[in-house]
Chains A and B, each alone.
Chain A
Amino acid sequence: MEKKPVQRRDFLKALAFGSAVFGGIRLVRSTSASERGEASPYRWGMVIDQSKCTGCGNCTLACRAHNDVSPEISWNRVLEAAEVGDKPVFLPRPCMHCENAPCVDACMVGASYHRSDGIVMMDYDKCIGCRYCEVACPYGGRAFNWVEFTGPNPAVPEWGQPEVPRRPRGVVEKCSFCYHRIDRGLKLGLKPGVDADATPACVVACPMGARMFGDLNDPASEVSKVLKQHPYFQLREDLGTSPRVFYLPPDEEVTA
């Protein structure tokens, strides 16, 4: 009988302790690093024209320089996809920035997240390197930093100057649609997709003009117009990921 009050006190103590811990966690989380930003009027997308791509790989090198990517990692891989006639057809593969991104759902700490303009971002300060996102991504778009990238970047300065910090060992990294170029460009009043300084490095570097970039929300943007006029496809549409990278087939009849 006389046990009861003690138990109640213990219970209240436990409750107070529990809520303090919970409150503490909420507090840390609310002041946490990543800014998700306000609702954006933009929805960035990329169009890659396979009939123009010659597989030169300049996009990969420009990407490595501007994003300071290790030579062992490609954010933007150029694959030989098929042959039409006897001409090889290439398929450059950046991050698809999926609308329904499996990596964003998979990431347990929210280090992979959507910006309101649709870009799938990586918070390298949050990532714990569990690599679940790599397992979840159907496009092989992610790379883990197995070793620390030290020393000079062989793509610099020939292909550009680094614009973002290097990632540490032990985190997963991937293409970011050069969000820093977009953000800086918009601040300077430039138009991403039109002005080179506000456009992803791979788009600027392409000598064939095979890549287009712009706002899918804007019907007057080049990407919107091209997608209206030409047949296009996305990679693994069957998965329902809704990629924001669109491909124009080399021969329009192929995907018709």
Chain B
Amino acid sequence: MISIRRFKIQPVHLWIGFLLVVLAIGAVAYGIVLIKGLSVTNLTDLVPWGLWITIDLSAIALSAGAFLLCAVVYLLGLKRYEPVARTATFIGLIGYSMAILTLLLDIGRPDRFWHALVYWNTHSLLWEVSMCLTLYLCVLALETGPIIGRTQWMRDRFPWISEKLMSIHHFAPILALIGLGLSMLHQSSLGATYGVLKARPIWYKPGLSVLFMFSAMVGGPALTVLVTKVSGRLSSRANIDESLLEPITRFIGWGLVGYIYFRFWDALSMSYTYEPGRSEALNLLTRGPLAFNFLVGEMLLGAIIPAILLLVPRFRKSWIAQVIALALIVGGVVAFRWDVNMAGLLVILTYLPQEINTIYTTYFPSMIEILSGIGVVAYGVLAITLGIRYLNLIDHRQEEEAHKQEVIVAATD
């Protein structure tokens, strides 16, 4: 007997449909890049890194909610944040997989991606980055295991696998500790990837690794809370407890203040005395083509306004103000990554003797770069949407109950 159910189109179906279309377009662009190579990009030998590296760095930074919240729950013992940590972990896993997708796109020989794991140059910051990326992706996958194991569907269909997956939960504190180490190392070594290069004076400073980690620690939780809050309004499958999110948003607000403080002294110290290359790059940021992005996108909209919105009590009560603030922070982190990469690459410091001479170059991503980049982002948004819909990702209700149940299941195996 075939039963025909009436299928009613809901807004979420349209949303998923839209994402699938974007994903399909992105996949075609992705395929074109793999077949035709990087000549379809606007990257050059002068600007070898562009839009994709920004997406990669941003995806990693915005995944930082996972390690922070897992550390809060399992290392500081604040168990009530566990449901938020679950959301953050899943977002982290998706973010890291997005990073890998973009990196595969960005390297000239994607067929040799495994060289990064087999041939080691331990002096290279990128070696450290690829090790952290791989290992932390494993940690995130393990941490996500119980989320998948706990779904009703898994329990009904594959009780044995479900049980095994849920038993990983016992190792949550160890995973949180390893994750904390790997993730912090990863975030800061991405900054150091730029920060150790003496050839690019605007990057060459120890502060870059600190700033990368600081902005990630603000941006990661911001994305987690943003996704949670928006889903709470839009989806009947998300059950949220605002009082749980309140302290996190306040932490994000104060984190932003700290971040602004660091950025201020960083920018101020760079503005003193003329340093070839560095001063020109700073000019790009404050007066040149990156000025709007830096001053308005990164500083005003990306840091100062959200800090006000999150910390002034009057705005804290407003849902829309909070959502706007969190979205601005996420945008600010992306703008920061873009500006760092561009400020270093757009200035070409000549090596001719007796002549301090800098020239500027330009870069704007090609259509294929944009489409494939958007495709990767669509994949991430789609994965998170489906996660919320089918993995009970955002559920602040019967957490205690579910937790107890898990312990019982685990104890009887």
* Cβ contact of B352, chosen from A79, A135, A136, cutoff 8 A: A79
Complex Cα distance A142/B121, Å? 19
Q: Is the CB of B125 within 8 A of A131?
A: no
Q: Is the CB of B354 within 8 A of A170?
A: no
Q: Is the CB of B45 within 8 A of A134?
A: yes
Inter-chain contacts of A255 with B (CB < 8 A): 353-354
Complex Cα distance A128/B121, Å? 13
* Residues of chain B at interface, number, CB under 8 A: 44
Q: Is the CB of A170 within 8 A of B353?
A: no
* Cβ contact of B109, chosen from A107, A170, A239, cutoff 8 A: A170
Q: Is the CB of B45 within 8 A of A106?
A: no
Taking the complex as formed, is B254 at the interface, i.e. its CB lies under 8 A from any CB of chain A?
no
Inter-chain contacts of A102 with B (CB < 8 A): 197-199
Taking the complex as formed, is B123 at the interface, i.e. its CB lies under 8 A from any CB of chain A?
yes
Total A-B pairs in contact (CB under 8 Å)? 139
Q: Is the CB of A108 within 8 A of B117?
A: no
**347-372 of chain B: CB within 8 A of chain A:** 348-349, 351-355
* Cβ contact of B130, chosen from A107, A108, A127, A134, cutoff 8 A: A108
* Cβ contact of A131, chosen from B48, B116, B200, cutoff 8 A: B48
* Cβ contact of B199, chosen from A126, A144, A239, cutoff 8 A: A239
Q: How far is the CB of B70 from chain A (nearest CB, A)?
A: 20
Q: Is the CB of B353 within 8 A of A247?
A: yes
Complex Cα distance A143/B127, Å? 21
* Cβ contact of A136, chosen from B39, B113, B199, B348, cutoff 8 A: B199
* Cβ contact of A81, chosen from B109, B116, B125, B352, cutoff 8 A: B352
Taking the complex as formed, is A32 at the interface, i.e. its CB lies under 8 A from any CB of chain B?
yes
Max chain A Cβ within 10 angstroms of own Cβ: one of B46, B129, B197, B344: B197
Complex Cα distance A172/B115, Å? 15
* Cβ contact of A146, chosen from B39, B49, B125, B197, cutoff 8 A: B39
Per-residue interface assignment for chain B, residues 102 to 138, with 1 indicating a CB less than 8 Å from any chain A CB and 0 otherwise = 0000111100110111111101111101100000000
Complex Cα distance A108/B197, Å? 14
Taking the complex as formed, is A216 at the interface, i.e. its CB lies under 8 A from any CB of chain B?
no
Inter-chain contacts of B124 with A (CB < 8 A): 105-108, 132
Q: Is the CB of A108 within 8 A of B116?
A: yes
Considering the complex, give the chain A residue whose CB is closest to the CB of B129: A108
Complex Cα distance A235/B119, Å? 31
Inter-chain contacts of B43 with A (CB < 8 A): 146
Q: Is the CB of A82 within 8 A of B355?
A: yes
Max chain B Cβ within 10 angstroms of own Cβ: one of A139, A140, A254: A140
Q: Contacts A139-B351, A140-B45, A255-B353: A129 and B121 contacting too (C-beta < 8 A)?
A: no
* Cβ contact of A128, chosen from B107, B197, B354, cutoff 8 A: B107
* Residues of chain A at interface, number, CB under 8 A: 54
Q: Is the CB of B48 within 8 A of A138?
A: no
Q: How far is the CB of A68 from chain B (nearest CB, A)?
A: 18
Q: Contacts A29-B120, A239-B198: A128 and B113 contacting too (C-beta < 8 A)?
A: yes
Q: How far is the CB of A53 from chain B (nearest CB, A)?
A: 14
Q: Is the CB of A91 within 8 A of B352?
A: yes
Considering the complex, give the chain B residue whose CB is closest to the CB of A243: B351
Inter-chain contacts of B197 with A (CB < 8 A): 102, 106, 135-136
Inter-chain contacts of B196 with A (CB < 8 A): 105
Q: Is the CB of B354 within 8 A of A82?
A: yes
Q: Contacts A128-B108, A129-B107: A29 and B118 contacting too (C-beta < 8 A)?
A: yes
Inter-chain contacts of B24 with A (CB < 8 A): none
Q: Is the CB of B121 within 8 A of A135?
A: no
Inter-chain contacts of B118 with A (CB < 8 A): 25, 28-29, 32
Q: Is the CB of B45 within 8 A of A142?
A: yes
Complex Cα distance A233/B352, Å? 11
Inter-chain contacts of B198 with A (CB < 8 A): 102, 138, 239-240
Complex Cα distance A127/B119, Å? 10
Taking the complex as formed, is A122 at the interface, i.e. its CB lies under 8 A from any CB of chain B?
no
Q: Contacts A135-B49, A135-B200, A138-B198: A82 and B352 contacting too (C-beta < 8 A)?
A: yes
Taking the complex as formed, is B345 at the interface, i.e. its CB lies under 8 A from any CB of chain A?
yes
Taking the complex as formed, is A195 at the interface, i.e. its CB lies under 8 A from any CB of chain B?
no
Q: Is the CB of A109 within 8 A of B108?
A: no
Complex Cα distance A140/B344, Å? 14
Q: How far is the CB of B78 from chain A (nearest CB, A)?
A: 26
Considering the complex, give the chain A residue whose CB is closest to the CB of B349: A138
Taking the complex as formed, is A169 at the interface, i.e. its CB lies under 8 A from any CB of chain B?
yes
Max chain B Cβ within 10 angstroms of own Cβ: one of A135, A145, A254: A135
Q: How far is the CB of A149 from chain B (nearest CB, A)?
A: 12
Complex Cα distance A176/B355, Å? 27
Taking the complex as formed, is A148 at the interface, i.e. its CB lies under 8 A from any CB of chain B?
yes
Q: How far is the CB of B125 from chain A (nearest CB, A)?
A: 7
**110-143 of chain A: CB within 8 A of chain B:** 110-111, 126-132, 134-140, 142-143
Complex Cα distance A29/B130, Å? 17
Q: How far is the CB of B351 from chain A (nearest CB, A)?
A: 5
In addition to A128-B113, A138-B199, 17 A-B residue pairs with Cβ atoms within 8 Å of each other are A28-B118, A81-B352, A91-B353, A105-B124, A106-B125, A108-B126, A127-B109, A128-B112, A129-B108, A130-B126, A132-B126, A140-B45, A140-B348, A170-B108, A235-B353, A236-B351, A239-B199
Chain A residues engaging chain B, CB cutoff 8 angstroms: 3, 25, 28-29, 32, 79, 81-82, 91, 93, 102, 104-111, 126-132, 134-140, 142-148, 168-172, 233, 235-236, 239-240, 247, 249, 254-255
Chain B residues engaging chain A, CB cutoff 8 angstroms: 37-39, 43, 45-46, 48-49, 106-109, 112-113, 115-121, 123-127, 129-130, 193, 196-200, 344-345, 348-349, 351-355, 411
Q: List 19 A-B contacts (CB under 8 A).
A: A25-B118, A81-B352, A81-B353, A102-B198, A106-B124, A108-B116, A108-B125, A108-B126, A108-B127, A128-B115, A130-B108, A135-B344, A136-B197, A140-B45, A140-B351, A145-B108, A146-B43, A239-B198, A255-B353
